[in-house]
Amino acid sequence: MLDLRFVRENPEVVKLNIKNKFQDSKLPLVDEVIALDLESRTAKQEADALRAERNAISKQIGGLMAQGKKEEAEELKKKVTAESERLAELEQKETELQEKITQIMMTIPNIIDPSVPIGKDDSENVEITRYGEPVVPDFEVPYHAEIMEKFDGLDLDSARKVAGNGFYYLMGDIARLHSAVISYARDFMIERGFTYCIPPYMIRSDVVTGVMSFAEMDAMMYKIEGEDLYLIGTSEHSMIGKFIDTINQETSLPYTLTSYSPCFRKEKGAHGIEERGVYRIHQFEKQEMIVVCNPEDSMMWFEKLWQNTVDLFRSLDIPVRTLECCSGDLADLKVKSIDVEAWSPRQQKYFEVGSCSNLGDAQARRLKIRVVGERGKYFAHTLNNTVVAPPRMLIAFLENNLNADGTVNIPKALQPYMGGKTVIK
């Protein structure tokens, strides 16, 4: 969420940013919120003047009563009563206007970084760098579900009976591989100085609206019926929420955390949810990393975060590339974002396995995550990035480590987490 003063003083900058995100329908909101803000400040000024006058009159009444001038005091009391009614009207008006202003401000997108390429959607994202040599084996690579099923490691039919489409049972070595990847990712991030955390898997509505846009919330979140609780779509939600309404010492930053959680997503409007496989699903597990830092350090941490994901995948012999997300592909709160994509030998193309985002002070402003230091009080910057998210990551792992005889190699880094196994047969 932007600073209202910034919007008031830089309306054309805000409008250009909206155009660059191809959200022209939101352009009228800028003038509307500025007009509402003016009306709100005018009402506040009148209310403040009435409060000051009421306080002055109250002192006069006390003086008159002390002098025995009851009639004059009663006349002033009538004036106070009339002004109190007007003050109540103004206070109600202020509340209503602030609610409207907040609603609009939470809809106007954050200002994107000048380095972000301008484009309408993900088809215009820009490749940055490739890491590792993509290999196309001289044998046919089966569909990932088929690979898993040959190891008796995947049961979609039973899951469909139990929970419907978009769910799965993982078993045997495939389930063990899933847990091994998560454990390895946890230790990988701990070794890089991040603090391990297991967060709540449900969050309240004020945290939900603090960490994401309304559009994302509608498309992703499952609500617990009858309670003010939502299942998290990623542990970033509850991890950033951990700092809600806090004042943090400048010298304590940055906070660097890596968190494990199951994730739950509606995948509303998503294509392929009924496909046989585990690429797009309603439930999965993930290791995440988040950073809360000083504004001047956020871009430095942004570079470090996506590099962590690249390094982890390369340590498991999986070729990856990074993509700069264009303006139209950025969620409203994001300043800048980079996707990490893994190579698929079967499809002979890359597919997304993680996303790194710098949200500037948007989440901090909504959740009141403040910093105090030599410069006074200001909002922190927040960032998040996927370390690894199986079972989607397992697709890349299995395809890139598959042998012609159907066995799967276990990279050296992962062998301790698989009981010393070097291959799955």
Cα separation, 317 vs 15, in Å, equals 45
Q: Give the other-Cβ count within 10 Å of 91's Cβ.
A: 15
Give residue 87's pLDDT.
85
The yes-or-no verdict on residue 68 having pLDDT over 90 is no
Quote the mean pLDDT of the chain: 93
The yes-or-no verdict on residue 65 having pLDDT over 90 is no
Integer angstrom CA distances of residue 394 from 69, 342, 397: 87, 11, 5
Give residue 32's pLDDT.
98
For residue 373, the SS3 value is strand
Binding-site residues from annotation for L-serine: 234, 265, 288, 384
The average pLDDT across 126-148 equals 96
Angle at 121 between CA 120 and CA 122, to 5 degrees: 145
Give residue 275's pLDDT.
63
* Phi, psi at 404, each rounded to 5°: -60, -30
For tokens 């769910």, the residue is 167
Give residue 86's pLDDT.
83
362-389 pLDDT per residue, tens: 999 999 999 999 999 999 999 999 999 9
Cα separation, 388 vs 97, in Å, equals 43
All domains of the chain, ordered by start, with CATH? 4-105 (1.10.287.40), 122-424 (3.30.930.10)
The greatest distance separating any two alpha carbons of the chain, rounded to the nearest whole angstrom, comes to: 107
Cα separation, 323 vs 307, in Å, equals 12
185-212 pLDDT per residue, tens: 999 999 999 999 999 999 999 999 999 9
Give residue 271's pLDDT.
53
The average pLDDT across 15-29 equals 98
Binding-site residues from annotation for ATP: 265-267, 352-355
75-100 pLDDT per residue, tens: 777 777 777 888 888 999 999 999 99
Q: Give the other-Cβ count within 10 Å of 53's Cβ.
A: 14
Out of 3-7, 216-220, 379-383, least confident range = 216-220
Helix or strand run (H / E) with residue 38: helix 27-66
Cα separation, 289 vs 227, in Å, equals 28
315-362 pLDDT per residue, tens: 999 999 999 999 999 999 999 999 999 999 999 999 999 999 999 999
The yes-or-no verdict on residue 390 having pLDDT over 60 is yes
The average pLDDT across 4-29 equals 97
Give residue 81's pLDDT.
75
Binding-site residues from annotation: 234, 265-267, 288, 352-355, 384
For residue 111, the SS3 value is coil
Under the banding of pLDDT at 50, 70 and 90, the label for residue 73 is: low
What percentage of the chain carries pLDDT values higher than 70?
Answer: 97
What percentage of the chain carries pLDDT values higher than 90?
Answer: 83
Q: Are 14 and 7 in contact (CB under 8 A)?
A: yes
The DSSP 8-state label assigned to residue 22 in this structure reads T
251-288 pLDDT per residue, tens: 999 999 999 999 999 976 555 555 678 988 999 999 99
